[in-house]
Structure formats: C-alpha cells, structure tokens
C-alpha cells in the first residue's frame, strides 16, 4: 500500500487505474486502425470502380475496331496494344507507315475524348505510350548492341506517335495542357517480349505499340503510407 493525501491506496487500486488507462489507449489505437482501414478500403474500392468504368468505356468505344486494327485490349493493364508490326513502321524506321497513320486518325481522337472526360481525367495519373521490339537487330539476338539499338529505336517511335497525337488533331487548350502533363513516351526495347506457348520469343507480337492507362490510386496509397509513417 501507499499513502496519498491521508488515504491509503492499495496495489489493486493502482493496477485497476493502470488497466483503465491502458484500455483507453487500446480503444483509441484500435479506432485509429479502423479509420485507417476504412480509408484504405475506400481507396481500393474506388480504384476497382474507376478501373472497371474505364475498361467498360474502352470496350464500348473500340471493341468493334480492334480486329481490323490488329489490336488487343488488356483489362488488367487498361492498355490497347497495336500488334501488327507490318502496318506500324518499316523495319528499323521511326516513321509512321501510311496504314498506321490511318489507324491513328481513327483511334486517337476517340481515345483523347475518352481520356479527357470529366469522370476520368482526375483519376488518371499517366497515359504511357510504350514502344516494344523483338530482341533482333540485323541478325543479332539479345546482345547488348541489339538491346541499346532497339532501345533507341523504340524511344524514337513512341516520340513520333506522341508528336502525332499532340499536333495532328484539334485540341482545346485545356485538354492539350492536360495531355502534355499526363502522356509520356516510353521506349522499352525488348525488355517485355512476348513468347509462344513453347517458350520461344514471338518476334511478331513483341514488336508493338501500347497505350497504357495508370490511375492515381498508387499515388494516393503512397501518400496514405507517408502520412501514417509520420504519425507513428
């Protein structure tokens, strides 16, 4: 026992008071965790809904055209991939073929209109134009020389597509400013090759141009983590 202000305080009383304090701390901590989990769940749900809505819009707009363009639509990556290299560029060239220009003239205005809709534009972090090649370069396969030459070529090609996108179609100043902030050109050489069912490199399908949408869900999750780390 201890004596305080003329009263004896038992060890049991002290332990009870400590347990109450601990209980309050635990409740507050659990409430904070629950709030954090609710925010996280909301972000995950919002990401899934946004991704589903964008994919639905892409399918509604382009499904009927993909076959004649030699293109595919990947829901997981929210990407449209043009996979017929014979109509994209001449071998070793970054100049758009006449056929690819025709395709882009049909595709890009509709794609731009979809991206800049009010219900999507604030959720889009980046639109990546990706250039992919096979590992071949003048007979060489998968060498350093092949990799870096194809890196340079794929970057030139995506830059050409981006320049065409920003200069060949009437754009209001607000949409053009948004596009210049969000759309990037990315040459990836043969870092993401396609393969056949028996594990061999598919040279044709590896040579492609992709338009890939990334939402800002990843950025929001990172901000949430940073805020949590600062407070703990």
Q: Mind listing the pLDDT tens digit for each residue in 58-107? A: 999 999 999 999 999 999 999 999 999 989 999 899 999 999 999 999 99
Q: Quick one: how far is CA 116 from the chain centroid?
A: 16
State yes or no: pLDDT of 8 exceeds 60: no
pLDDT of residue 17: 56
* The pLDDT of residue 137: 92
Q: How far apart are CA 70 and CA 209, in angstroms?
A: 11
CB 58 within 8 A of CB 80: yes
Q: Which residues pair with 127 in a beta bridge?
A: 183, 213
CA distance 187 to 202: 19
Check whether 42 has a pLDDT greater than 60: no
Hey, what are 77's tokens? 């990556």
**181-206 pLDDT, tens digit each:** 999 999 999 999 999 999 999 999 99
Q: What is the pLDDT of residues 144-155, one digit of tens each?
A: 999 999 999 999
> Given pLDDT bands bounded at 50, 70 and 90, which one contains residue 10?
low
**Cα torsion 100, 208, 95, 183: sign:** positive
Q: Which residues pair with 136 in a beta bridge?
A: 141
Strand residues in the chain grouped as ranges (E): 2-4, 7-9, 71-74, 79-82, 124-132, 136-137, 140-141, 183-187, 208-215
Identify whether the C-beta of residue 206 lies closer than 8 Å to the C-beta of residue 134.
yes
Structure tokens given for 109: 């205005």
How confident is the model at residue 115, as a pLDDT?
95
Query: Other C-beta atoms within 10 Å of 46: how many?
Result: 14
Give the closest residue to 73 by CA, choosing from 55, 54, 87: 55
**What are the tokens at 90?**
């001449």
Predicted pLDDT of residue 49: 86
20 pLDDT more than 70: no
Sequence-ordered list of residues with C-beta below 8 angstroms from that of 204, at least 6 positions apart, any chain: 83, 85, 134
Q: Is 80 exceeded by the pLDDT of residue 231?
A: no
């Amino acid at each position: 026992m201890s004596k305080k202000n003329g009263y004896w305080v038992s060890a049991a009383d002290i332990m009870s008071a400590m347990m109450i304090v601990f209980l309050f701390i635990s409740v507050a901590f659990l409430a904070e965790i629950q709030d954090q989990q609710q925010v996280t769940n909301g972000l995950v749900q919002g990401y899934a809904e946004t991704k589903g809505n964008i994919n639905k819009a892409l399918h509604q707009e382009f499904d009927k055209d993909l076959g004649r363009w030699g293109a595919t639509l990947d829901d997981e990556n929210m990407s449209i991939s043009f996979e017929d290299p014979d109509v994209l560029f001449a071998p070793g060239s970054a100049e758009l073929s006449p056929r690819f220009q025709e395709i882009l003239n049909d595709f890009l205005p509709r794609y731009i209109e979809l991206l800049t809709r009010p219900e999507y534009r604030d959720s889009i972090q980046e639109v990546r134009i990706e250039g992919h090649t096979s590992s071949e370069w003048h007979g060489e396969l998968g060498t350093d020389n092949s990799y870096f030459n194809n890196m340079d070529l794929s970057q030139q090609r995506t830059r050409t597509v981006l320049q065409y996108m920003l200069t060949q179609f009437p754009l209001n100043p607000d949409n053009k400013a948004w596009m210049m902030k969000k759309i990037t050109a990315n040459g990836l050489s043969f870092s993401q090759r396609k393969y056949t069912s028996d594990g061999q490199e598919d040279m044709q399908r590896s040579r492609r141009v992709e338009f890939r949408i990334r939402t800002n869900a990843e950025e929001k999750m990172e901000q949430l983590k940073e805020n949590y780390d600062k407070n703990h």
